[in-house]
Structure 1
Amino acid sequence: MKSRSIPLFAVLLTLLGGCQSVTQLSVIGFNVESGDADPNYIADQYIQPIQGVDFWGFSEVQNQGWVDRFETAIEVNNKADFKSVLGSTGKADRLAIVYNSNDFNLIKFEELNQINIGGSVRAALVGHFQVKSTQQEFLFIVNHLYRTNDQGRHEQARLLNRWAQKQTIPIIAVGDYNFDWDVKNGDYKRDPGYDLLTENDVFTWVRPQEIIATHCSSRYNTVLDFVFISRQIKPRSASSKILYPEADYCPDTSQKSDHRPVQATFILPKVQP
């Protein structure tokens, strides 16, 4: 894997416990609004210009054709071969992972069917990956939780928390969680699902410095799309931002998604044996 410039590298090594080797990862979660968007327009305008991202987690993907189009767009400005995994649940609103196969090996993938309550929405899509240069392993998971069923969404958050507690390697979780974190008062006004997912510090939100609504809505001024990391990844090594914050991104149109993508960058340490 090509080395990247990391500010205050020596300081970070100390903060990360003196690890001998570290990997910087960049990920994006993006709900691409299947059924009311043009994948070609999204690919050209909002995916192709972005460089240096290792993993993309897409939700509301219509089919493999959409994934292939996004993969091609990613490769235009990135000198790497990207590959994809498409989930099997959600009908025309599926989940997908697109990853840099030059630098990362996909060991296996699975779908957490227990998260697909009643079999009517989406099973979480989990990829088990390995960094080629360091052999470090981690899990990259894409979620899209219930919107219209509060009880179902909260149960999904509980189940994800319980699943994560059993994992022994780092987890990066992206997606549309529908937690309605209020832009102005989110510390006090948010969906209980957020607290159920992060209970006992199992997950930590990589919180953007500038918080804006990730969904174009006249009813809600909230964050629906998040990047979470498990406790093995130091929050101090992480940062995130909500992309395309310009006011004219909203309102929604029939060409683009009604969600903004969210990007996070962090240090994945190689733990000493």
Structure 2
Amino acid sequence: MQYRLIPLMIFLLTLLSGCLSATQLSVIGFNVESGDADPDYIANQYIQPIRGVDVWGFSEVQNQAWVNRFETAIEVNNKADFKSLLGTTGKADKLAIVYNSNDLNLIKIEELKQINIGGSVRASLVGHFQVKSTQQEFLFMVNHLYRTNDQVRHEQARLLNRWAKKQQLPIIAVGDYNFDWDVKNGENKRDSGYDLLTENDVFTWVRPQQIIATHCSSRYNTVLDFVFISSPIKPSSASSKILYPEADYCPDTPQKSDHRPVKATISLPRVQP
């Protein structure tokens, strides 16, 4: 009888371990500057060399051809089948998600139309994913908030905060938020949209250890591109890095993007959907 119980115990322990385990994800947000960049150059120089990223969120994507090029570049050094999702808003400045379909199931795709205030900018692109190995579910979203209208950007931040409060699943939100976090004095000098988005700790910035400007600009020495996590995810379980920090990444050229990509590694909590 004892010996018969051993396989059952091993099975139950394995099952319990899977239920309790956390999942580590690697994500990147990257504004690829549609209309003033070469997708082939960006793909070859800045996307293809990167390995081990589970989900990419792109902003300022010109069209499906750009997404296809990036998807192909990602697959070169990653032994997995990646799939892409392109948003319908933003005209030639669309949002896109590229994800590892070997490891992740896409359950649902959604665009938050309320974030596209006035219908002239972009609706948030949200993917509801399930990790195949652990059955853990999470939301991955890409945002590109208004640059030239502070009032609209702040309302977008309020609406995102309000939406996130209602979600039960962990949220990872990447993108170009245009919050102008000052590299030298961001604690006191930043756009108030940052505070509206993170109000009541609904979202937390996965703050890089080394903060540098994410945008090539002679006017602004600020962070525009962020990775935020929602409150179910512990900030201590996440880290981020601004990629290509070398000074010669800037200035901008007609070939490359004027934004640096931002990478984050995140351990998801076990949350029942």
The one-character-per-residue Cα deviations of 1:8-45 (angstroms, maximum 9, x if unpaired) are: xxxxxxxxxxx721111000000000000000000000
Runs of 4+ residues over 4 Å off in structure 1 = none
2:40 alignment partner in structure 1: 40
Larger mean CA deviation between 19-28 and 167-176 belongs to: 19-28
Q: Look at both structures and tell me which one has the larger radius of gyration over its CA atoms.
A: 2
Q: Which runs of 5+ in 1 are unaligned?
A: 1-18
Cα deviation for residue 270 of structure 1 reads 2.1
Aligned residues: 255
The residue aligned with 2:160 is 160
**1:271 Cα shift?**
3.8
| CA distance in 2 between partners of 1:213 and 1:206 (Å) | 15
For the residue of structure 1 that corresponds to 2:269, the secondary structure is: strand
Output the CA distance in 2 between the equivalents of 1:55 and 1:179: 23
Show the counterpart of 1:232. 232
Give the corresponding residue for 2:62.
62
Q: Partner of 1:259 in structure 2?
A: 259
Question: Which residue identity lines up with residue 215 of structure 2 in the other structure?
Answer: H
1:97 matched to 2:97? The reply is yes
Written as runs of structure 1 = structure 2, the 5 A alignment for 1:129-140 is 129-140=129-140
Q: CA deviation at 1:146?
A: 0.2
- Structure 2 runs not aligned, ≥5 long: 1-18
Match in the other structure for 2:15 = none
CA-to-aligned-CA distance 1:134-175 (integer Å, 9 cap, x gap): 111110000000000000000000000000000000000000
Matched AA of 1:146: Y
Structure 1 vs Structure 2 CA RMSD: 1.0
- Separation (CA, whole Å) in 1 of partners of 2:136 and 2:20: 12
Cα offset for 1:272? 7.3
Q: Point out the structure with the larger helix share.
A: 2
The answer on whether the counterparts of 1:216 and 1:258 sit within 8 Å (CA) in structure 2 is: yes
The whole-number CA distance in structure 2 between the counterparts of 1:102 and 1:68 is 18
Query: In the alignment, residue 46 of structure 2 is paired with which amino acid?
Result: Y
2:247 paired residue number: 247
Q: How does 1:1-273 map to 2 (within 5 A)?
A: 20-271=20-271
Answer yes or no: is the 8 Å Cα contact 1:180–1:222 preserved in 2.
yes
**Contact 1:28 / 1:263 at 8 angstroms: preserved in 2?**
yes
* Corresponding residue of 1:12: none
Paired with 1:119 and 1:246, the residues of 2 have a C-alpha distance of: 37
TM-score for both structures, normalised by structure 1? 0.92
